[in-house]
Structure 1
Amino acid sequence: MVKGIGSWLVKHSKVRPDRLALIYNERRFTYTEFNDRVNRLSNAFLSIGVRKGDRVNALLFNTNEMVEAMFACAKIGAIFVPINFRLSTDEVLYIVNDSRAYHFIYDARMKPLVDELRTKESCLLEYIHVGNNPGEDDSVYEDLIANASNEELDFDIRLEDVHMMMYTSGTTGKPKGAMLTHGNTQWNAINSIHSTPFDNSDITLSVAPLFHIGGMSVFTTPLLYKGGTVILDDTFDPTRLLQKINDERITCLFLVPVMWQALTSVPNFNSYDISSLRFAVSGGAPCPITVLEFFQERDIPFYEGFGLTETAPFVCILDKENTIRKNGSVGKEPIHTNVRIVDPFDRDVPPGKVGELIVNGPNVMAGYWNKPEATKEAIKNGWFYTGDLAKFDEEGFIYIVDRKKDMIITGGENVYPIEIEQVLYRHPNISEAAVLGYPDDQWGESIKAVIALKDSSQSLSVRDVEAFLDGKIAKFKIPKRVEVVDALPRNATGKILKIVLRQKV
């Protein structure tokens, strides 16, 4: 009997064999067809030497091959390692060598990078090519599937076995491989289904990158657990996305805030029929309040979630009933996850006080790959220390104040950039905003705002910003410097790279 998350496909192929599981462009796979391809790929992996516990690197886009490869690894106990396709060759090489992988699946569109990768020293033994024009010695993905048996495999796999390793974004240093188990992914799916109105008739569009935990496990894996339909798109274009909602009658959608913001900027937004959309979720970074208000005005139930790669990712979510009343909160924890907010001595802080958010539950990772010290620092007595500063209100709703490392101390006062950023987003000519500290001999740190404008022909000075913020936040929180840029640097998941901005302070 198939165990682990691979069992989902086996069950659905029996219970709802003709239900569409995956759609990518013109390719449409029922659960029976999806499971058949995964079985063939699992057997092909075994034939080329992939064994239980081996890491399999994947430089792929949001295509059916990405999801098939993840489940194929799961069925034989191998560990799937999706890699950010926007990384440089040296950054990809770091993950290849750190994960100690022997097998590397890549999309034809990444061939120039992969050809350069071949010239570097690594332990890779096999390249598997997806698409046309493979390398001379490469295995071809579709040939592997065509020539392999579709026999169902029965490996001894337990929920505590690692099935996927996702590398953290590395915004503060070298990426670390977060080891996610079958249980992590399954319990995350259960938490998601308990906290949002999922149904097996739902259809989602997965356009946030699947190499990121948000793209892979906010809707994609939970909906496949539930038996719904996942439409994959490897290109984010706001107009095209609205058209897909219109045409495919998409019912639920996860995007990161920068994507939601782009949707609100489509000039003819109201000409698309998005009435099929039953609910929407934002996560990955704080969502500008103006974006939340935009969708609330259009009667689209909007949930704001918070999670991390290390928690697979679900930590808490603000439900639609409280979106307006508790705007700015990320809600409460799901049924199978526990959270605390603690001071530096691990004592629970009272409501209204800021502390570090820590998480406990079956969705917390097994640890960081080959980094026992980092694991020991992050997980203590079963609790994962997120590095995020947060507070409870009197009703138990959680507010993420900021990253611990992003807090600014000016004149002895703690200042949380997110509070200032949310107010800046209300300025009619500010499209992006990031607030950070810089050294100040008198105050220890002073505050700087880096902004991008909606209309660059209308300048915005420090005095303009001061005038706009006056009366909205305390005077000591008002930035003393303002820098206008064309766009803020972001990583592939939409998070603003403050480490880059600090280098220019």
Structure 2
Amino acid sequence: MTTIDPHPRGAAPFDTSGTFRDEQGVAHYAGLPSSLVEMFRATVRDHPGQEALVEVDGERLTYQQLWDRAARVAGGLRAAGVERGDRVANLLPAGVGWVLGFLGTQLAGAVAVPVNIRFAQPEIDYVLADSGAKTVLRPEAPLPDGEPYAAGDLQIDELAAIFYTSGTTGFPKGAMTTHENFLSNVETVLRVHGIDRAEGPRQRNLISVPLFHVTGCNTQLLVQIALGGTTVVLPAFHVRPFLRTIVDERINVLTSVPAIYALALSQPDFADFDVRAVTRVGYGGSPIAPSLVERIKAAFPQARVGNGFGLTETSSIATYLPHEWATEHTDSVGFAAPVVDLALHEPDSAGVGELLIRGPNVVAGYWNKPEATGRTFAGSWLHSGDLARIDEDGLVHVVDRAKDMINRGGENVYSVEVENALASAPGVADAAVVGVPDDVLGEKVGAVVVAASEDERLSVPAVLDHLAASLADFKIPQYVHVRTEPLPRNPGGKLLKRQLREQTAWGAPVRGR
């Protein structure tokens, strides 16, 4: 096996105290709870009457109520024959029921399988069969109910959940997430945001992304449970309820994708919503224009902003770009998290290689897929499939997915680099860059752009002139397709480029390129 040396950490500004390395050189946080159950138990002990969970236009639960209800779900699962290590699939919509199902599964000592309810039915059927789920929590059936039960001897390295990937390249793969994976991500979030645990009960976080995704579950719900803060769940995203909930629920923590913030800020009466309570705004999942970062800062004047990057396989956050770097480095996903090592596999002459990630947040492998596990998690390093470069300050710049890199007659074009440039082009609200088959060059560069306004015609020549100011000629799209409907994305905000290629009918090349 080739020896891989971690990249120097550079100017990473995060607290790395209280960490240690194991015999394989992997860093860990010291002093973590033994399991999610113990983390939950400690919060209930310290903050029993604190409001824990709110479903917009639905129930409100304190931490004691949340524990008691989840413990009855656990008892019902045990009475139904679910034993330690059995898988429990969760097909419930976002809300109190989903959270009770997830936490009840943990209290039962079982393994949660959050299912992407946006999957097509064959994909859902595949997840249920592949995971070997002993029980499926469905919206048409009541939650299990029985005598309260809470497992007391779970170990930090035990399997706690299986999150299935979005299936952008075939059937989904189940990422085996341990208690340490979850707990490490919680600690990482606290450190990269500089959160004082004493302030925890005053945190009010609005979840407007799916709970079956690691951003909603791991980086929002579980962090608030660790802090004793309040999680407010918006069952389905609509921009007006989103804005109204920020005001009505006194929300101070927001995490979403750039497109959601752009939509919210474009509301004609946005200024009528009092959002001054918001002190933290996180985003990620797609490129963001410098102008949008400035608009977010202006719209939420009390907030610190930041860009998080990660994968299902890293339990959410692997790198983070803090507030102080957010405006000037919008093309970066930030610095390595406190216990994360980064490396580049086979970098080219431009310093671009596959991003490798190592740390206690990296999952234990893929369920039922030993060959894929061996390829992707070789030698304790996660081969992310993302192409990146790391500058001298330690800032990570993700330039493409390896499978999405465009080879234009022997010249590599990194689609994310072009998408970053398009993000600030006049009249462009969103954009995706893909390869277009060509008989001579093999591939040419194609861009699908969403117009920022339905009332004004987007000027393709103006967009290309904008790109010419910052990109080499061979990187400028030869094909441009303008559409009004949103680009297809998975629940984490990542582009579904295979689907986009199937949807797009390319016209004639532009500007004779």
- TM-score bin, normalised by smaller chain: 0.7 to 0.9
- Is the 2:108–2:149 contact (alpha carbons within 8 Å) kept by the matching residues of 1? no
| 2:79 corresponds to 1:47 | yes
Aligned-pair distance for 1:461? 6.2
CA offset at residue 458 of structure 1? 4.0
SS at match of 2:336: coil
Residue 182 of structure 1 deviates from its aligned partner by 0.7
Letter in 2 for 1:340: A
What is residue 35 of structure 1 aligned with on the other side? 67
Q: Does 1:232 align with 2:230?
A: no
Distance between the aligned counterparts of 1:216 and 1:472, measured in 2?
A: 38
- Does residue 309 of the first structure (1) align with residue 309 of the second (2)? no
TM-score (norm 2): 0.86
Percent identical residues: 35
2:496 corresponding residue in structure 1: 497
Does the Cα contact within 8 Å between 2:288 and 2:330 map onto a contact in 1? no
Correspondences of 1:31-430 after superposition (within 5 Å): 31-108=63-140, 129=141, 140-141=142-143, 144-145=144-145, 148-154=146-152, 156-198=153-195, 199-200=199-200, 201-298=202-299, 299=301, 300-343=303-346, 353-430=351-428
Residue 19 (str. 1) matches residue 22 (str. 2): no
One-letter code aligned to 1:499: R
2:459, 2:193 → 1: CA distance?
Answer: 43
Question: CA RMSD, aligned part only?
Answer: 1.9
Checking the alignment, whether the CA contact within 8 Å between 2:114 and 2:212 is kept in structure 1 is yes
Gaps of at least 5 residues in structure 1 are: 109-128, 130-139
> Structure 2: where are the runs of 5+ without partners?
1-32, 507-513
Contact 2:308 2:333 in 1 (8 A): yes
Once residues 413 and 168 of structure 2 are traced to their aligned partners in structure 1, the CA distance between those partners, rounded to angstroms, is: 21
The number of residues matched between the two structures is 464
- Alpha carbons of structure 1 residues 392 and 151: separation in structure 2 relative to 1, 3 Å: closer
| SS across alignment from 2:335 | coil
Structure 1 Cα separation of the partners of residues 162 and 150 of structure 2? 24
CA separation of 1:453 and 1:151: change in aligned 2, threshold 3 A: closer
The higher relative CO (CA closer than 8 Å, separation ≥ 6) is in 2
Contact 1:51 1:77 (C-alpha < 8 Å) held by counterparts: yes
* Partners of 1:15 and 1:218 in 2: CA distance: 21
Q: Partners of 1:261 and 1:217 in 2: how far apart?
A: 24
Give the distance between the partners of 1:266 and 1:171, measured in 2 at CA: 32
Q: Give SS of 2:138's match.
A: strand
Residues 37 and 151, structure 2, Cα contact 8 Å, conserved in 1: no
Segment drifting more, 358-367 vs 481-490: 481-490
* One-letter amino acid of the counterpart of residue 492, structure 2: T
Shift of 1:84: 1.4
C-alpha separation in 2, matches of 1:179 and 1:151: 24
1:240-276 alpha-carbon deviations (Å, 9 max, x no partner)? 2121111211111111222222222222112111111
The whole-number CA distance in structure 1 between the counterparts of 2:272 and 2:234 is 22
Deviation at 1:452, TM superposition (A): 1.8
Decide whether aligned partners of structure 1 residues 294 and 12 sit closer, same or farther in structure 2, where only a CA change above 3 A counts: same
- The question of whether the paired residues in 1 share the 8 Å contact of 2:418 and 2:475 is answered with yes
Report the secondary structure of 1:422's partner residue.
Answer: helix
* Letter of the 1:429 counterpart: G
In 1, distance between residues paired with 2:160 and 2:444?
A: 45
Contact 1:307–1:314 at 8 Å: present in 2 too? Answer: yes
Cross-structure match for 1:451: 449
Cα distance change of structure 1 residues 163 and 151 upon mapping to structure 2, 3 Å threshold: closer
What is the rounded CA distance, in whole Å, between the counterparts of 2:460 and 2:188 in structure 1? Answer: 45
Could you tell me which residue of structure 2 aligns to residue 136 of structure 1? none
- What are the superposed Cα offsets for residues 321-350 of structure 1, whole Å, 9 maximum, x if unpaired? 111232321111121221122316xxxx89
Q: Contact between 2:282 and 2:308, CA under 8 Å: does it hold in 1? A: yes
How many angstroms does 1:457 deviate by?
5.3
Cα pair 1:6 1:72 within 8 Å, conserved? no
Question: Which residue matches 2:27?
Answer: none
For 2:327 and 2:466, how far apart are their aligned partners in 1? 24
Is the contact between residue 89 and residue 136 of structure 2 (CA under 8 Å) also seen in structure 1?
yes
User: Could you tell me how far apart the structure 1 residues matched to 2:110 and 2:285 are?
Assistant: 27
For 2:39, the aligned partner's letter is W
Q: Deviations over 1:265-321 (max 9, x none)?
A: 222112111111111111223334332221123333210010000010110100111
- The one-letter code sitting in structure 1 at the alignment partner of 2:332 is S
> In the alignment, what sits opposite 2:12?
none
Distance 2:256 2:470 in 1: 29
Deviation at 1:21, TM superposition (A): 1.1
SS in 2 for 1:374: helix
Post-superposition Cα deviations, 1:141-172, rounded to whole Å, max 9, x if no partner, equal 2xx43xx2235443x32111111111100112
Shift of 1:408: 1.1
Whether contact under 8 Å (1:70, 1:164) holds in the other structure is no
Higher deviation after alignment, 179-188 or 77-86: 77-86
Structure 1 residues 186-228: Cα deviation after superposition (integer angstroms, max 9, x where no partner): 0110111111133412110111001111111122111211221
| Local SS of the residue matching 1:171 | coil
Measured in 1, the distance between the counterparts of 2:409 and 2:177 equals 42
- 1:478 corresponds in structure 2 to 476
Rounded to whole Å, the distance in 2 between the matches of 1:238 and 1:455 is: 17
**Deviation of the 1:446 alpha carbon:** 0.7
Q: Secondary structure at the match of 1:424?
A: helix
